[in-house]
Structure 1
Amino acid sequence: MGDDAVRSEMTQELRLPWEEDPEELYEHAPCGYLTTLPDGTIVRVNQTLLTWTGHQRSALVGRRRFRDLLTADSRNDHETRYAPLLAMQGDVREVAFDIVCADGRELPTLVNSVVSRDAGGLPRVIRTTIFDATERRGYEQELLAARRAAEASERRVGVLQQIVAELAAAPTEAEVAEAVLRAPGPAFGALDASIWLVDPDGDRLVVVASTGPAPPGGEQVPRSSSRPVAQVARRGDLHVIGSVREAAEHFPELAETMRRTGRSTVVLLPLTAGPGPDADPPDVLGVLAFGFVEQRTLSGSELRVVRLLGHQAGQALDRARLYDATRRREARAVFLAETTRALEELPRLLPRARRLVERIVPEVAGWAEVRLRVGPAGVVAEAGAPAPDPRWLTERVAAVTTSGDPEYATGAPDTDGGGTGPQRDCTVLPLTVRGRVLGTLALRPASGQRLAGTGFLRELADRAALSLENARLYEQERTIARSLQRSLLAGDLPADSRYTLETYYQAAGQDLEVGGDWFDAFRITGDKLGVVVGDVVGRGIDAATTMGQLRSAIRALASAEAGPARLLERLDRFVERVESARMTTVAYAEINLATSEMTYACAGHQPPLLAEPGSAPRYLLDGRSGPLGSRAARVERVEHRIRLSAGSRLLLYTDGLIERRDRPLDAGFEVLARAYARCRDAPLPGLAARLADLLVGRDHGDDVCLLCLAMGTEERLERSIGADPMQIALLRKDLRGWLAAHAVDADSSEAVLLACSEAVANAIEHGYRDDPFGMVRVVASVAGSAVEVRVADRGTWRQTREEDVRGRGLRLMRQVMDEVVIARGEGTTITMRRGRRGQP
């Protein structure tokens, strides 16, 4: 069969049994048809488009333009893209427009348009085909929503991966909290977030970090509270508060905060540790709270990511807490060890108690107090702030002291969200040693902090108690030792107007044991005085006992006929029977008070130092021999005799005054001579103590004994004292003895003492008000029937009227003295005279 025959046969097979009406095809086509003039005026529209949009034909044809049917965004596209393309190309394909229906609905469409031209090529009409794109738009929106959801999920997973990496590298709770706090914003679009952690004791939640406003009710809340964060911590389940209305029904306080901060949805996520986020029951270590501005409903995938975040954060917190606990244990062990060493450095009780408080504040607490029942009563050390109520603290201290049971700070607020009362955060610990309460240690944390665990506090109190008890025993033994030492020294020294004695004893600063240094002075006859300073080798009870035996032996062996050399020879025979007395050094002198002659001998001891009026101090190097019982000693003991002029001062001392490990012995002798020369004009009372302060200090490792003898009555009393009001009393004592030696009557003596004291006080107060190193010179003499006292300084007085300068003191001087003369030059000199009255 040929091609034409085949084509004819197919045509007959496709011919419909009825004829299609072209108008019917146009009106009811499966798409909308629209014909417009070049300016857009609608001239023809099919029924399909009218059915879709609900418009009437009469309302469109000749009355509306095509662009009038479009939404605002579509009109913009019509003007900027559709019309220019149609004018240039003559047709456009699949342009998306939204048509506004008669009832206001928006109909998504796809538009194809073509321009029909006349024979001259000018636009005649525009024919437009319109397709309903509702299903396609829905499909596209679904695709877009799925794409956005996938992108959001990918973003959340990325954020979660980043947070998990940061959590793995975060070693501490604080760093874990900071890492978790950064997740809600980028992962879920949260407005703000805050982290609540359950404290180690599990009785409260504390805000450790926040990016938003302060949580309602403060930064901590009891775990038993009715607040939603506490409920989530107890139950361990995720809680989403979807609206302010929902919050108002159950949590009014939270609802008020949501209104104030503009949050519409709040998520409370438990931070759990354990096998997984769905473990039963979960171990809740904290709560992550975050909120949204808009009202949100979290999807299932979002909820899964949220729970996974809570579990990962909980695992990191658990690990960080173990790490923190290890570090805390190490730090506390180091602290306890260092505190024990620091306390052992101070042997005395009160310094130890003060150092204990210094160590505790601020390392352990913001405020600390130590009270002791033994030794000094009451509070012996206190530091820091804030201190609790004193009345409450006294009551609790009494209760703890009686029961011996500690009272720990609860750390719990008085009410939900309330402040902490003065008694709720103060811990009182008993200082117990061998079942006896030595005292109490009270601690209070600094603001915003909390005390360490009870185990650490108990160990701290136990160590402190043992250290303080050791210090108490040390002081007790020290007191006993010093009492024994002083009981073996000379008691009341003999007194006589022909001489004056000044003694001083200083025990070794760091040694509890008694020593063998001693001094003594005794009357051999009415006119003969014996003085001695000695040093027994060694320390302890044996040395002190030997010292007591030697002291008694010297008193027993001294006689008017023997003399120093003979006495030392007898002591040599004595020490043959007392082995512990061997190598004892002794400086012994006998003074004839009638002739002022002194005979002395030194058995291996440091040479006496003599200062005579108008001369430099000199060492008495004669009369020397070996120590007692020394096999290297000379067979015969030697002595030497000199005459002591009135006003001479003789110093006997032990080696602790001059011997030092870091300098030669000769340098020690030189230092002593210079210091003694500077003190030559100082009042005799207190002279020995002053020398010890200058040369030794208070923490020397050896005992120091000094005996100073002032011989005879000086014709003129010449003294120089520093600008220190404390030295006026020493000057008065020295001047009183001098006046008595010159037989000045009691009334005159009291007047001179009063006037001299006022003059010296004025010189110190006014002349040396800006110079604490100034010196005041005092010269007293008796001329005939009058006593004259001259007080001179080189200070700068205020340039005011004399009455204002001298004040009440000058008026007092003039009342008690017969004559007062003031001379000014390089300083001020006051000369006062008073006639002697009556009988002495």
Structure 2
Amino acid sequence: MRKPEIDYAAVFRALPGMVALLTPDLVYADANDDFLRLAGRTREELLGRYIFDVFPENPNDQAAAGMRETRASMLRVVVTGERDTMALLRYDIEDPERPGRWVEHFWSPVNAPVLGRDGQVVLIVHRVEEVTELIRARGGPGSDSRARVLEAELYTRARELQDVNESLRRAQARDREVALALQEAMLPAPTPLGHHQAAVRYRPAVGTLNVCGDWYDLVDLSADRIAVAVGDVVGHGLAAACVMGQLRSALSAAARVADGPAQALEALGLYARHVDGAESTTVVKAFIDWDTHTITYSSAGHPPPALLSPDDTVTFLDQATDPPLGARPEHVPRPEASTAFTEGATLVLYTDGLIERRTEDIDTGLARLGDALARHGQADPEALADALLADLLPPTGNTDDTALVIIRL
């Protein structure tokens, strides 16, 4: 049997119900026939225009929140790559034939992502169920009165829920500001490393809660040796920031007296057992010795550091990886490995926010990091740090915070 040829553009336009496609910038890319008909707009009035330029909020309704809620839902889809179903929404539409006259509408929207080959959101599918007539329930004796009571009840409950959500959002925003201030105080710029260049970066997550679990640290051990670490606390917000501060300080102190990175992580693991919220923390520690041109490292469940040679070859330091802190009930010595480096090489340590995406295997993220290093690796550390963040983090922000340390060896 011959496989039929399907005109998907024609199928999209004939879909029953209101469906529109928007870019991640919330600009209309297409809309089906039902969307145009029920929204009272032509295709030319929609395509290429920002959604809220086409459908602004009713200026006569001081309590209107439809625009804010719709924007928030769509941006969640862009950031998370996951479908977002909205609650029943009142969003009035201006009559195109009678400017200044706003028609009351009730909608039930769903926003869903369309992912590109790189796993990023390239389109938002905006499906809308028009439920105005159902809410009003016109059609029989007394039904209009009952429907108005139901409508008022639904609208009141929706407003109450919006007020609760807004209060929670503001409280979370305050917590975020405090946590970020604490994070900034505990993650200062690195001290000079002699004639060696270094750059550090911290990028908070876009969500109000998903911040402040990541840290970095650089410690001078002697004239020609330093210790560098990057870690990630499981958890978010103020609690994670506090745990992060305790672990960073403890590891910084342990590095000054330990024989090597493995011993420093062993001491940190014993300390973490007595810190609530420290379990499952991941961290990688490296000692750099310019006298012997060696890097000695140990990892507690953390993504491997990357070593970029002057010939643009990238090697991931993954020969001394052990479970995260607190993963074992008993104390076990941690592994340690060493590798040589040549003058002019670059060492890159980072947290998983730089490479991991929900829809990908971690090897895909590591390969993307390796490619970016090979392209930009000869830049100085400051320029390289900016280039890596630009290449590897989503343009709309990431759902996990990211710490990054780059040292020119």
Q: TM-score, normalised by structure 2?
A: 0.59
Matches within 5 A, 1:675-694: 675-694=372-391
Of 199, 214, 217, the match for 1:520: 217
Provide closer, same or farther for how the CA distance between residues 472 and 502 of structure 1 changes in structure 2, counting only shifts above 3 A.
same
Show structure 2 runs of 5+ residues with no match.
1-57, 76-91, 101-155
Same amino acid, percent of matched pairs:
34
Aligned residue in 1 for 2:347:
650
Matches within 5 A, 1:236-255: none
Provide closer, same or farther for how the CA distance between residues 710 and 521 of structure 1 changes in structure 2, counting only shifts above 3 A.
same
Whole-Å Cα distance in 1 between the matches of residues 202 and 344 of structure 2? Answer: 24
Whole-Å Cα distance in 2 between the matches of residues 704 and 615 of structure 1? Answer: 24
Q: Are the aligned partners of 1:568 and 1:603 in contact in 2 as well (CA < 8 Å)?
A: yes
Q: 1:774-799, CA deviations, whole angstroms, 9 ceiling, x for partnerless residues?
A: xxxxxxxxxxxxxxxxxxxxxxxxxx
1:580 is the counterpart of 2:277: yes
Q: Report the CA distance between 1:686 and its aligned residue.
A: 2.8
Show structure 1 runs of 5+ residues with no match.
1-329, 348-358, 367-458, 712-840
Whole-Å Cα distance in 2 between the matches of residues 469 and 625 of structure 1? Answer: 42
Q: Report the CA distance between 1:532 and its aligned residue.
A: 0.3
Provide closer, same or farther for how the CA distance between residues 475 and 568 of structure 1 changes in structure 2, counting only shifts above 3 A.
closer
Q: Report the CA distance between 1:633 and its aligned residue.
A: 8.2
Matches within 5 A, 1:796-807: none
Whole-Å Cα distance in 2 between the matches of residues 475 and 561 of structure 1? Answer: 40
Of 702, 705, 725, the match for 2:400: 702
Q: Report the CA distance between 1:525 and its aligned residue.
A: 2.6
Matches within 5 A, 1:47-66: none
Larger RCO, structures 1/2 (Cα 8 Å, 6+ apart): 2
Q: Report the CA distance between 1:344 and its aligned residue.
A: 4.5
Q: 1:8-39, CA deviations, whole angstroms, 9 ceiling, x for partnerless residues?
A: xxxxxxxxxxxxxxxxxxxxxxxxxxxxxxxx
Provide closer, same or farther for how the CA distance between residues 678 and 471 of structure 1 changes in structure 2, counting only shifts above 3 A.
same
1:539 is the counterpart of 2:217: no
Letter of the 1:341 partner, please give it.
E
Matches within 5 A, 1:174-189: none
Aligned residue in 2 for 1:510:
207
Q: Are the aligned partners of 1:659 and 1:668 in contact in 2 as well (CA < 8 Å)?
A: yes
Letter of the 2:380 partner, please give it.
P
Q: Report the CA distance between 1:543 and its aligned residue.
A: 1.5
Letter of the 1:525 partner, please give it.
S
Q: Secondary structure at the match of 1:686?
A: helix
Of 469, 481, 484, the match for 2:179: 481
Q: Are the aligned partners of 1:524 and 1:560 in contact in 2 as well (CA < 8 Å)?
A: no
Q: Report the CA distance between 1:513 and its aligned residue.
A: 5.1
Q: 1:219-261, CA deviations, whole angstroms, 9 ceiling, x for partnerless residues?
A: xxxxxxxxxxxxxxxxxxxxxxxxxxxxxxxxxxxxxxxxxxx
Letter of the 2:253 partner, please give it.
A
Whole-Å Cα distance in 1 between the matches of residues 258 and 237 of structure 2? Answer: 35
Q: Secondary structure at the match of 2:256?
A: coil
Whole-Å Cα distance in 1 between the matches of residues 264 and 221 of structure 2? Answer: 12
Aligned residue in 1 for 2:321:
624
Letter of the 2:240 partner, please give it.
A
Letter of the 1:709 partner, please give it.
I
Q: Are the aligned partners of 1:600 and 1:640 in contact in 2 as well (CA < 8 Å)?
A: yes
1:336 is the counterpart of 2:56: no
Of 364, 369, 372, the match for 1:667: 364
Of 266, 278, 286, the match for 1:569: 266
Q: Report the CA distance between 1:623 and its aligned residue.
A: 1.7
Q: Are the aligned partners of 2:258 and 2:264 in contact in 1 as well (CA < 8 Å)?
A: no
1:494 is the counterpart of 2:195: no
Aligned residue in 2 for 1:549:
246
Q: Are the aligned partners of 1:586 and 1:627 in contact in 2 as well (CA < 8 Å)?
A: yes
Q: Are the aligned partners of 1:517 and 1:536 in contact in 2 as well (CA < 8 Å)?
A: yes
Letter of the 1:481 partner, please give it.
A
Q: 1:40-76, CA deviations, whole angstroms, 9 ceiling, x for partnerless residues?
A: xxxxxxxxxxxxxxxxxxxxxxxxxxxxxxxxxxxxx
Provide closer, same or farther for how the CA distance between residues 472 and 550 of structure 1 changes in structure 2, counting only shifts above 3 A.
closer
Matches within 5 A, 1:422-433: none
Q: Are the aligned partners of 1:522 and 1:529 in contact in 2 as well (CA < 8 Å)?
A: yes
Q: Secondary structure at the match of 2:310?
A: coil
Aligned residues: 274
Letter of the 1:623 partner, please give it.
A
Q: Are the aligned partners of 2:301 and 2:323 in contact in 1 as well (CA < 8 Å)?
A: yes
Q: TM-score, normalised by structure 1?
A: 0.30
Matches within 5 A, 1:310-329: none
Q: Are the aligned partners of 1:537 and 1:543 in contact in 2 as well (CA < 8 Å)?
A: yes
Letter of the 2:241 partner, please give it.
A
Provide closer, same or farther for how the CA distance between residues 638 and 345 of structure 1 changes in structure 2, counting only shifts above 3 A.
same
Whole-Å Cα distance in 1 between the matches of residues 284 and 326 of structure 2? Answer: 15
Letter of the 1:656 partner, please give it.
G
The CA RMSD measured in Å over matched residues stands at 3.6
Provide closer, same or farther for how the CA distance between residues 665 and 561 of structure 1 changes in structure 2, counting only shifts above 3 A.
closer
Q: Are the aligned partners of 2:176 and 2:238 in contact in 1 as well (CA < 8 Å)?
A: no
Q: Are the aligned partners of 1:510 and 1:699 in contact in 2 as well (CA < 8 Å)?
A: no
Provide closer, same or farther for how the CA distance between residues 633 and 470 of structure 1 changes in structure 2, counting only shifts above 3 A.
closer
Provide closer, same or farther for how the CA distance between residues 598 and 498 of structure 1 changes in structure 2, counting only shifts above 3 A.
farther
Q: 1:420-476, CA deviations, whole angstroms, 9 ceiling, x for partnerless residues?
A: xxxxxxxxxxxxxxxxxxxxxxxxxxxxxxxxxxxxxxx9xx99xx89998877655
Letter of the 2:180 partner, please give it.
R
